[in-house]
Amino acid sequence: MSANPTLKPAVSVIGLGMMGTALAAAFLKTGHQVTVWNRSHSKTGPLAAQGAAPADTAADAVAASPLVVVCLSTYDTVRAVLEPLSGQLTGKTVANLTNGTPEQARDLAAWAAKEGAAYLDGGIMAVPQMIAGPHAYVLYSGPQGVFDAHRETFAALGGTKYVGEDTGLASLYDLALLTGMYGMFAGVLQAYALIGTEAITATEFSELLVPWVGAMLASAPAMAAAIDSGQHLTDVSSLAVNQAAFPNLLSTFAAQGVSGELFAPVQGLLDRAIAEGHAADGLSRLADLLRTAPAGPPDAALAV
Q: Which residue is nearest to ligand NDP (CB)?
A: 17
Interface segment toward ligand NDP; rule CB under 6 A; list 121-129, 160-168, 186-194, 291-299: 121-129
Burial category of 183 from C-beta neighbours within 10 Å (exposed 0-12, middle 13-18, buried 19 and up) = exposed
Shortest Å, Cβ 51 to ligand NDP: 20
- Give DSSP secondary structure letters for 160-205: EEEEESSTTHHHHHHHHHHHHHHHHHHHHHHHHHHHTTTT--HHHH
At closest approach, how far in Å is the CB of 173 from ligand NDP? 13
Q: Pairing relation of β-strands 137-141 and 118-125?
A: antiparallel
Total residues binding ligand NDP (CB under 6 A): 21
Residues 104 and 301: their CA atoms lie apart, in Å, by 21
Shortest CB 19 distance to ligand NDP, Å: 3
Rule CB under 6 A: which of 68-107 touch ligand NDP? 71-73, 77, 80-81, 98-99
Q: Does 131 bind ligand NDP (CB under 6 A)?
A: no
DSSP β-bridge partners for residue 34: 11
Q: Report 40-69 residues binding ligand NDP (CB under 6 A).
A: 40, 43
Choose the stretch contacting ligand NDP; rule: CB under 6 A; options: 15-23, 48-56, 62-70, 294-302.
Answer: 15-23
Binding mask 21-40 for ligand NDP (x = CB under 6 A): -----------------xxx
Q: Which stretch binds ligand NDP (CB under 6 A): 9-17, 147-155, 228-236, 240-248?
A: 9-17
CB–CB of 93/118 below 8 Å?
Answer: yes
3-class state of residue 14 by DSSP: strand
185 by Cβ neighbours in 10 Å (0-12 / 13-18 / 19+) ranks as exposed
238: left (phi over 0), alpha (psi -120 to 50) or beta: beta
**Residue from 124, 131, 146, 195 in contact with ligand NDP (CB under 6 A):** 124
Is 20 a residue that touches ligand NDP (CB under 6 A)? yes
How far apart CA 7 and CA 197 sit, in angstroms, is: 60
Kindly tell me which residue out of 12, 13, 15, 154 binds ligand NDP, with binding defined by CB under 6 A. Answer: 15
> Which residue, among 33, 20, 43, has the nearest Cα to 95 in the 3D structure?
20
The answer to whether 82 touches 94, Cβ cutoff 8 Å, is yes
* Residue nearer to ligand NDP on the CB measure, 23 or 195: 23
CB 132 within 8 A of CB 157: yes
Q: Measured from the CB of residue 58, what is the shortest distance to ligand NDP in angstroms?
A: 8
Smallest distance, Å, CB 187 to ligand NDP?
21
Q: Point out which residues bind ligand NDP (CB under 6 A).
A: 15-20, 38-40, 43, 71-73, 77, 80-81, 98-99, 124, 127-128
